[in-house]
Amino acid sequence: MADRNSSVPLAQTGLPPSERVDVACLARALAHKNTSYKFLLLKIILQRTAAQAAADELAISFDDIRREMLVAAWFPVRHFRLRFGTQDMLGRALGELVETELVGGGPYVRTEQVRRDFDAAAGEIAKVPNVRLLTHHPINVMLLPWFKSETKGLRSTPLYNRVVELSNERAAAERPPLYRIDRQRQLIVVHRRWREYFEINWQIINGWLDNQWLQFLTSQNPNVPNLANKLWEPPARRQPLTRQRNYWKPFIASSELCCFYSDSLLDLNGYHLDHFLPWSWVGHDQLWNLVPVAKEPNSSKSNRLPARDLIPALAERHRQAIAFARRRLDEHDWKLKVDDYIIGLNASYDDLLHSPNIVNAYNATIRAQLDLAERQGFETWENHHEHP
């Protein structure tokens, strides 16, 4: 049965109301969006609530919190190259673990593999200073809204010590803090009332947290496209490129077309569609950014950035495919097919059929995106194949 009759309305916090816990404190805990830690800590608590709904005590060790923070940050930081802010240590900690080869560093390593790497090297990882610090500050600061008056004027160690004391003293209060901190056992214990609140309202709270996380990432990465699809690890299998393949296949079959990055002839049944700007940057499968290539250069390029001098050739390859589709289709069907270009390149239908215009549109769109992606930390691909 859902909690009712709270003095804190849903509209103020975005959270379901409750008479048993102080929802406003939870909302205030995430109000200051300077670092990632509190978002990830609450995400970990929600995930454990879902996995251990029937547990008498929901206890999470400091080691587990550190590991799960790093695992949750893996794809946003390592794959999507997102930034968490100048004061945030998660990115530095992950970079240090990759450089020392304690975890795998490839762009497509799944988080389950990262978690296994952490478990296998837990002893060594625990010695890394930037990793140990991940729980030093966040687990205390998360609780400050519950103890605002009692901690006023305190800083650093005195503040943390007082928060630990209060988290245990108030554990039996009518409206308890989110959890108590057990330094001796090196863990937090989520209060039963909060666990029940999360269980009852899990979907709403998880959606609210994702929205808060999106706002934080937007504030730290204002120029990154499609952030809503980069919050966490993407699905292991993305949507198949069936529509896009159906667009390119007749064009490839009509002539002996070579790979865009090499001189090798494309196999109609074995070609790949490469995201010219990496998918991990653009986050979409629009036609204007896809080009047929052979398997080898596609694998070599991975999620690296292409050279700028390839842009005119890319535009011409697309102009040829667009013109071929125009000859095959009536005007209505053709316009439906090339709608991605109109939106993505901010071009007209006439622009798509004329070389100078489409080259200008591609240059204007892709050069700006390459500049942004480079500043975000994406690497440039050194193409060792002949290109057109």
Residues 53-64: tens digit of each pLDDT: 666 679 999 999
pLDDT at residue 107 in the model: 63
Name beta bridge partners: 58: 190
Tell me the average pLDDT across 144-160: 93
Say if residue 1's pLDDT is above 70.
no
Taking the CA atoms of residue 17, residue 19, residue 21 and residue 24 in that order, the dihedral angle to the nearest 10 degrees is: 50
Tell me the average pLDDT across 124-151: 91
pLDDT at residue 4 in the model: 39
Question: What whole-number distance in Å separates Cα of residue 13 and Cα of residue 24?
Answer: 6
Q: What is the DSSP string of 152-197?
A: TT--HHHHHHHHHHHHHHGGGSSS--SEEEETTTTEEEE-HHHHHH
Question: What whole-number distance in Å separates Cα of residue 180 and Cα of residue 195?
Answer: 13
Tell me the average pLDDT across 161-166: 96
Question: What whole-number distance in Å separates Cα of residue 358 and Cα of residue 344?
Answer: 12
pLDDT at residue 129 in the model: 86
pLDDT at residue 388 in the model: 45
Least confident interval from 92-96, 173-177, 181-185: 92-96
Alpha-carbon distances of 253 from 152, 154, 257, 347, rounded to whole Å: 73, 72, 8, 27
Confidence of residue 387 (pLDDT cuts 50, 70, 90): very low
pLDDT at residue 123 in the model: 87
Question: What whole-number distance in Å separates Cα of residue 31 and Cα of residue 13?
Answer: 10
Say if residue 110's pLDDT is above 80.
yes
Say if residue 40's pLDDT is above 50.
yes
pLDDT in tens, 375-386: 999 999 987 555
pLDDT at residue 143 in the model: 96
Tell me the average pLDDT across 121-130: 87
Burial of 171 per CB tally in 10 Å (0-12, 13-18, 19+): middle
Say if residue 10's pLDDT is above 80.
no
Minimal CA–CA distance to 74: which of 109, 38, 116? Answer: 109
Say if residue 175's pLDDT is above 90.
yes
Least confident interval from 57-61, 210-214, 286-290, 327-331: 57-61
Tell me the average pLDDT across 334-363: 96
Structure token digits, residue 42: 């609450």
Residue 308 · residue 370 · CB < 8 Å: yes
pLDDT at residue 54 in the model: 64
Say if residue 6's pLDDT is above 60.
no
Which amino acid type is present at position 178? L
Confidence of residue 5 (pLDDT cuts 50, 70, 90): very low
Tell me the average pLDDT across 236-265: 90
Tell me the average pLDDT across 175-186: 96
Pairing relation of β-strands 290-293 and 272-275?
A: antiparallel
Name beta bridge partners: 265: 258
Interhelix angle 192-200/202-220, nearest 10 degrees: 90
Tell me the average pLDDT across 337-365: 96
Question: What whole-number distance in Å separates Cα of residue 157 and Cα of residue 215?
Answer: 30
Which amino acid type is present at position 97? L
Average per-residue pLDDT for the chain: 90
pLDDT at residue 38 in the model: 94
Minimal CA–CA distance to 186: which of 37, 59, 62, 44? Answer: 62
Tell me the average pLDDT across 202-231: 95
Question: What whole-number distance in Å separates Cα of residue 66 and Cα of residue 87?
Answer: 17
State the first-to-last Cα distance of the chain, in angstroms, to the nearest integer. Answer: 65
pLDDT at residue 60 in the model: 96
Tell me the average pLDDT across 232-246: 86
Tell me the average pLDDT across 351-359: 97
